[in-house]
Amino acid sequence: MKKQILLLAIVFVSLLSACSKKGDDVNPDGQSPDGQNTAKAGFYCKVDGKDFAPDFAYATSVITGTYGIYGLYSSTSNIIHIEVPLNVGKGTHKIDDTTIKAYMTLGKTSDLEYSTIHGGTGTLVITEKDAKGVKGTFSFTIKNSKGTQLPVSAGTFNVLFK
């Protein structure tokens, strides 16, 4: 069931990816049109020590009661998705397979699909959240179905809700 939800989320994200580019969500100068957000829009992290700076970044509801924070490369469909319950607010939160979950797909085979479903934990820090968007940091380790672990570090996001 969890794998079906993950696949549904990936399909949904792919459909939405044509609607929003990183620079469209918050003014690239670093301030949103309403003047409330002073950080640049986007999504960035290091995956196994390598830069992951996708061209699409946003937050959207996929499953009732949750939203996902997404970073997606449109050219490769490589994606990182952090699933967060709507009632989680500012603060430091544990990423695991209970409340806040992390998923990553780096290719078209199951060996390249990682998630907290297979193990791994981390931290999500929400520094700003309102009706328009969410901003924060993250780091975690996740595994694929064979148990191969992958570190994701130095994560930052600043995205609007879609």
Residue 29: pLDDT band (50, 70, 90) is: very low
Q: 39-43, 54-58, 91-95: lowest mean pLDDT where?
A: 39-43
Amino acid 121: pLDDT: 94
What span, in angstroms and rounded, lies between the C-alpha atoms of 57 and 28?
13
Which residue shows structure tokens 């934990």? 121
Amino acid 72: pLDDT: 93
* Dihedral angle, C-alpha 60, 61, 67, 70, nearest 10 °: -30
Residue 19 Cα distances to 14, 22, 68, 158, 161, angstroms? 10, 10, 16, 17, 12
Mean pLDDT of the 74-98 span: 94
Contact yes or no for 146/111 (Cβ under 8 A): yes
pLDDT(9) > 60: no
pLDDT(33) > 70: no
Give per-residue burial for 68-87: e unless 16+ CB within 10 Å, then b: bbbbbbeeeebbbbbbbeee
Q: How far is CA 38 from the centre of its chain?
A: 20
Amino acid 5: pLDDT: 42
Which among 143, 87, 146, 103 has a CA at the least distance from the CA of 2? Answer: 103
What span, in angstroms and rounded, lies between the C-alpha atoms of 48 and 152?
6
Mean pLDDT of the 17-38 span: 40
Residue 60: pLDDT band (50, 70, 90) is: confident
pTM attached to this predicted model: 0.75
Mean pLDDT of the 8-14 span: 39
Share of the chain above pLDDT 90, in %: 54
Residue 111: pLDDT band (50, 70, 90) is: confident
Q: Please report how many Cα atoms fall inside a 13 Å half-sphere around the Cα of residue 112, on the Cβ side.
A: 9
Amino acid 144: pLDDT: 92
